[in-house]
Amino acid sequence: MAIGVVALLAVGGTVTAFALSQRGTDAAPTAAGTPSGTPTPTPTPLTPEEQLLASTDDPAACAVSFTGDGVADAPMLQTQGALYAGLPIPARDGLIFAGWYATPEDATALAIPGRVNGSEAVSCTDRRMTLHGAWVSPEQNAAEDARIPILMYHQFTANPQGEPGWLRGNYAYIGDFDAHMNHIATTGFYLPTWDELSAFIDGRLFLPTHSVIVTDDDAHQTWLDMGVPVVDKHKVLTTSFVITRWRDAPSPSPYVLQRSHTHDMHDPGDNGDGRIVNWSVPEIVADMEASAAVLGAKEIMAYPFGHYNDSAKEGLRQAGWEMARTIEPGYVTIGTDKLALPTIRINYGMGLDSLIGLIG
Please check whether residue 191 is in contact with residue 117, taking contact to mean a CB–CB distance below 8 angstroms: yes
Residues 101 and 91: their CA atoms lie apart, in Å, by: 16
Output DSSP code: residue 83.
B
- For 206-245, letters b (16+ CB in 10 Å) and e give bbbeebbbbbbbbbbebbbebbbebbeebbbbbbbbbbbb
**What average pLDDT does this structure show over 3-8?**
38
**pLDDT of 126:** 95
| pLDDT higher than threshold 70 for residue 112 | yes
**pLDDT of 147:** 98
* Band of pLDDT at residue 7, cut at 50, 70 and 90: very low
Residues 283 and 278: their CA atoms lie apart, in Å, by: 10
* Band of pLDDT at residue 36, cut at 50, 70 and 90: low
* Band of pLDDT at residue 37, cut at 50, 70 and 90: low
**pLDDT of 282:** 98
Among 3-17, 67-81, 168-182, 283-297, which stretch is predicted with the lowest mean pLDDT? 3-17
| pLDDT higher than threshold 70 for residue 2 | no
**pLDDT of 203:** 97
Average pLDDT, the chain: 91
**What average pLDDT does this structure show over 88-101?**
98
| pLDDT higher than threshold 90 for residue 172 | yes
- For 277-301, letters b (16+ CB in 10 Å) and e give bbbebebbbbbbebbbebbeebbbb
| pLDDT higher than threshold 90 for residue 342 | yes
pTM, full prediction: 0.87
Between 103 and 270, name the one with better pLDDT. Answer: 103
**pLDDT of 271:** 84
Please check whether residue 307 is in contact with residue 325, taking contact to mean a CB–CB distance below 8 angstroms: no
**pLDDT of 17:** 37
**What average pLDDT does this structure show over 253-268?**
97
**What average pLDDT does this structure show over 195-215?**
98
**What average pLDDT does this structure show over 269-273?**
84
Closest CA to 280 of 269, 272, 291: 269
pLDDT in tens, 211-235: 999 999 999 999 999 999 999 999 9
**What average pLDDT does this structure show over 99-110?**
98
| pLDDT higher than threshold 60 for residue 285 | yes
* Band of pLDDT at residue 133, cut at 50, 70 and 90: very high
**pLDDT of 10:** 39
**pLDDT of 24:** 41
Q: Please report how the helices 174-186 and 352-359 are oriented relative to each other, as an axis angle in degrees rounded to 10.
A: 40
| pLDDT higher than threshold 90 for residue 269 | no
- In sequence order, the 6+-apart residues with CB closer than 8 A to the CB of 276 are 262, 265, 284, 287, 303, 304, 307, 308, 312, 315
Please check whether residue 210 is in contact with residue 148, taking contact to mean a CB–CB distance below 8 angstroms: no
* Band of pLDDT at residue 331, cut at 50, 70 and 90: very high
* Band of pLDDT at residue 95, cut at 50, 70 and 90: very high
